[in-house]
Structure 1
Amino acid sequence: RMARTRKAAAEKKEDWSDSDGEATLDGVTEDKRELPPKNVESMRRKLLIGRVSSLSSGASLFSIRHPRLGTAALFQLSATSCDEVLLLEDEYRTLFHGDTVIADGRPRLLSPFNPLFLVLPYLEKKKARYETLEEILRDDECPAIERLAGNEQAMRELERVADVTDACDEKLYKLNEKKALEWIRGRFEILKNALVANAKLHDSITTNEEVLDRYTFGVLSDHLSAATPGNLAAAAKELLQIKDAPKAEAAPEPLGMKRKMDDDENLYGCEMPPAKKTPTQTATQKKLQQASKGTKSLASFFGKKTN
């Protein structure tokens, strides 16, 4: 009976030694231990914040030239909406969602963006003549701009800034600067009222009409091309009578402090620096000084001789 027990123990030891990995105290090999799941491409998600209408199905992300920057920016477009995607820079942010982890937890905001502001720069470039919308919305670097032709809001408001004519069963468009400036003025007034009502601006802005107009136009300018002589942004600034901020004035001196403007003005503060005192000479130094009168200094023997 003892021989059988020893034989069974030896067979069990051989079974453990033949396993693929090293045995553990739990009787589970290292290779069979449960490891964290690998990253799956379909699980790479982002945190997106926006209106319910903006998150509806049918919306897609496109790279479109930003009117202010002149470079590509990310926009979400659908048949009924247009939103700019704004990334809030916040490093080292991770989110937990159920049993998964969102590694890049930086929030993306969907900010409503009037698509007509995206069209205006292209209308300005082709303002010399009537052209089809397909010809106007042509950009080799950002071809997604042509998708605005299928956006209801852009097409609905396009005639507010452009003249339209029919030719060969096609609609041709041309920028009307007067209509465009009036449209920009309307957006300016809407934005101004919204800022006063909802933005909780400082009293120094709301109580000064000139400052409020300048602040409002600054916000609106983020949707317009950079102001250059002759373009819509510069013309709108002139139409709305937006004045540039005055240069910073010199800070007034504190009350009770006056500065002398005489020749002996004190440049060192309240007290003049002490005058340098000439050291007194000893009797021996005085005798040496008298004895050296009429003699040349040692440096004169090494100077350049003149003929």
Structure 2
Amino acid sequence: MENKFGTKIFILDETLRGQKLKSIKLKHPGNDKQAVFLLCESRKEIYELLSFNEKHRSWFIDESVASNGQIYMPMIIDPLYIVLSYLVKCDPKKVQPIQHVLEDSEFHDIKYLMNVIDVKELKMISDQIGPEDINAFKYNESKALEWLKKKCLIVVEALKKSNVRTGQNVTSQTYVNVNGNSDENSYLLTAHGIVSEYISMELSTKLSSFMNIVDESKQVNGAKRKSIVDLENVNMKKSRLSDETNFKVNEPETKESKKAKQKNEKLAKAATGSKNILSFFNKKS
């Protein structure tokens, strides 16, 4: 792809060959920041445009050099994620036509989203109120969580099919599993993390609770923190005991200390005349 800013390298799916793609700027559903998307209206699809960049990289194209070494990859996403990010912010007491829900004074390109949305699918995350031709909807959290749960389960199946390993035994970001096993909770945790990239933090927390997902890493980190605190308390106790012994030398002996002293005296008496075991291995003169 070439424009006034120079040549750019895109990696596209073969099915997009010959398709007309429109570049639009929208608010990202996961962080509310500006992001670039590609719209394919003929196929009613929207793609998030991802870029990968490394320093000091260029491309040789025919007899020219493209100094921009970035790689651009469009990744298809469900447009309902974007709609959901607007629905959750609507007044829960009001019912609005979807056209009004998708109004943004900062991101005017949101109007193009109507060209790729299937209105019937909106019922999976909201309730349709009034006549169907009005297309008025109200956010339904229970439906949204159920829909997001299905998305997570789809990701789990994709991870398993691709033999992607997850969980505590995975080392680094290469997803190489040490023992080759991944339990169901680990898959759910990874899938939840992927889906959470496209929803708010609050909704992500609710989804985790809704699916009863246990974050093992937090439990381990919590145990580690507790161990560190316990160790610090032990060290504090040790320093205090050390300080106290300097000032309580003449304290009267307790019954337990007397018994311990008598026991040591008996052991010393029994050991009188005995030799250390190492003495049997000394060289004879």
TM-score normalized with structure 1 length: 0.62
Q: Who is 2:47 aligned against?
A: 83
What amino acid sits opposite 1:210 in the alignment?
N
| SS state at 1:237 partner | helix
8 Å Cα contact 1:48/1:107 also seen in 2: yes
Q: Who is 2:272 aligned against?
A: none
Report how far residue 215 of structure 1 moved.
Answer: 2.0
Going from structure 1 to structure 2, the CA distance change for 1:103 and 1:68 (only over 3 Å counts) comes to same
In the TM superposition, 1:1-307 aligns within 5 A as 42=4, 44-79=6-41, 80-126=44-90, 127-152=92-117, 154-167=118-131, 169-202=133-166, 204=169, 206-227=181-202, 232-244=203-215, 245-246=218-219, 247=221, 249-250=223-224
For each residue in 1:110-160, what CA deviation from the matched residue of structure 2 results, as whole angstroms up to 9, or x when unmatched?
1111111111011111243211111100111111112111104x5352221
8 Å Cα contact 2:94/2:138 also seen in 1: yes
What amino acid sits opposite 2:97 in the alignment?
T
For the pair shown, the structure with the greater C-alpha radius of gyration is 1
- In structure 2, list runs of 5 or more residues that go unmatched: 171-180, 228-237, 243-285
Going from structure 1 to structure 2, the CA distance change for 1:164 and 1:56 (only over 3 Å counts) comes to farther
Taking only the aligned residue pairs, the percentage that are identical comes to 22
Comparing 47-56 and 165-174, the one that deviates more: 165-174
**How many Å separate the matches in 2 of 1:56 and 1:173?**
36
**How many Å separate the matches in 2 of 1:122 and 1:60?**
22
**How many Å separate the matches in 1 of 2:20 and 2:149?**
33
Q: Who is 1:279 aligned against?
A: none
8 Å Cα contact 1:91/1:106 also seen in 2: no
8 Å Cα contact 2:26/2:110 also seen in 1: yes
Report how far residue 219 of structure 1 moved.
Answer: 1.4
8 Å Cα contact 1:137/1:145 also seen in 2: yes
| SS state at 2:7 partner | coil
Going from structure 1 to structure 2, the CA distance change for 1:128 and 1:52 (only over 3 Å counts) comes to farther
Structure with the bigger percentage of helix: 2
Report how far residue 201 of structure 1 moved.
Answer: 1.2
The Cα RMSD (Å) is: 3.0
| SS state at 1:159 partner | helix
| SS state at 2:94 partner | coil
Going from structure 1 to structure 2, the CA distance change for 1:219 and 1:199 (only over 3 Å counts) comes to farther
Comparing 198-207 and 93-102, the one that deviates more: 198-207
| SS state at 1:238 partner | helix
| SS state at 1:125 partner | coil
Paired residues in the alignment total: 216
Report how far residue 172 of structure 1 moved.
Answer: 0.9
Report how far residue 58 of structure 1 moved.
Answer: 2.4
| SS state at 1:82 partner | strand
Comparing 131-140 and 207-216, the one that deviates more: 207-216
Report how far residue 43 of structure 1 moved.
Answer: 7.8
- In structure 1, list runs of 5 or more residues that go unmatched: 1-39, 253-260, 265-307
What amino acid sits opposite 1:112 in the alignment?
I
